[in-house]
Amino acid sequence: MADEMDLAALAAGEKDLVQGDFRQANLVGEDLSNRDFTRAQFDKGNLQRSNLSKSVLSEASFTQADLSHANLEGCTGRSNWVHTKLTSANLRNVKFAQSNFHTCDFRDADIRGADFSKANLIHDNDFNGVIANDATKFDGARILRPMARLSIFANYRLERGELKRIAGNEIPPVDEIEERRGDLQAALTEIESTLRNLAVQNDVQPEHGGIGHNNPPPEDRLGADEIEDGEQALATIRGEVLADNPDKHRVVDASKVLSKIAGKAADLASRNFGVFTEEFSKQAGKSLASPAGITALYLLFSGQWANLLNLLVKFFG
């Protein structure tokens, strides 16, 4: 059972809880963040939805503890986890190098940016549905061959029972990451500007008026709803580019939206390319609502999306 004085110290907000005894304690939803739990015992404790973010867990024990939906973001320390439930837990940026994990339930946990270097993962841990990214580290972790085939270990090969990062999949240096981030932000600004110009054209009538082969009808342009979807998709991508732990799945979904719009823009540009070549020189500097101006924007958008997509692949892998 938990030590009553340790529980009182915990409730009082004390930071130094080294060697604290919290066995079988009911800590559901409790704020346990920014504490020093070095060598503390949480065996058989109920820590569902608790917040342990940025706490020190060096040599702490969580045997048969329930930390489902708990927030451990930024926790540090070599620690021991046996039959621990970590379902849907937030393990972003944890530093659990050399920790021991024995028959733990990681299902649907978020381990983006987590460091499991040289951790012991040999004993039947469940990683189904885990959310990881290229910044998740398993270098030198010990693991059994069947588990090493899981997609979260795709950047590694198994060598003498340990995970070794495959050449070419190394995590880029911080300065290189920031350079790529800057390139992406610049590309996003350019394509956002083009979409705004296209949005304006939906409300502008061509100077010469009329409908004909030199004045495509509204159905031959990107619709306002498509442009709005594109703007929302770009905003989503920008948010993930700036995030400390970007969600690759959201970027992929947004990219699908933009690829569809870019495909239509390219198709519209090809249909009106004759008009573009005929009128571009005489329309230069005039209203972009002209067929030539709109076609130029479609061509520009398609090219900018191709460039942005290439930068996204380099950044997110």
Q: What confidence score (pLDDT) does residue 287 get?
A: 46
Alpha helices in 93-143 (DSSP H): none
Name the packing angle between helices 291-316 and 174-201 (round to 10°).
160
- In the predicted model, is pLDDT for residue 168 greater than 90? no
**Token output for 115:** 């460091």
pTM over 0.75: no
- In the predicted model, is pLDDT for residue 273 greater than 70? no
- 185-214: pLDDT as tens digits: 999 999 999 999 888 876 665 554 444 445
Q: What confidence score (pLDDT) does residue 288 get?
A: 46
Q: What confidence score (pLDDT) does residue 175 get?
A: 64
The mean pLDDT value for 50-61 works out to 97
120-123: strand order across its sheet: 80-82, 100-102, 120-123
Collapsed DSSP state (helix, strand, coil) of residue 115: strand
Higher-confidence residue: 299 or 52?
Answer: 52
- Domain ranges in the chain? 1-171, 174-205+213-316
Q: What does DSSP say about strands 162-165 and 156-159: parallel, antiparallel, or unpaired?
A: antiparallel
- In the predicted model, is pLDDT for residue 114 greater than 60? yes
Q: What confidence score (pLDDT) does residue 209 get?
A: 47
In angstroms, the first-to-last Cα distance of the chain is 48
Short-list 256, 206, 260, 199, CA closest to 231: 199
What's the rounded Cα separation, in Å, for the pair 58 and 39? 6
1-171 CATH pick, 2.160.20, 1.10.1390, 3.20.20, 1.10.150: 2.160.20
The mean pLDDT value for 132-161 works out to 91
What's the rounded Cα separation, in Å, for the pair 139 and 29? 33
- In the predicted model, is pLDDT for residue 65 greater than 60? yes
The mean pLDDT value for 22-42 works out to 97
The mean pLDDT value for 67-82 works out to 97
Task: Tell me the pLDDT band of 275, cut-offs 50, 70 and 90.
Answer: low
Q: What confidence score (pLDDT) does residue 285 get?
A: 47
The mean pLDDT value for 24-47 works out to 98
**Highest mean pLDDT out of 17-21, 156-160, 207-211:** 17-21
Q: What confidence score (pLDDT) does residue 6 get?
A: 97
- 286-302: pLDDT as tens digits: 444 455 567 778 888 98
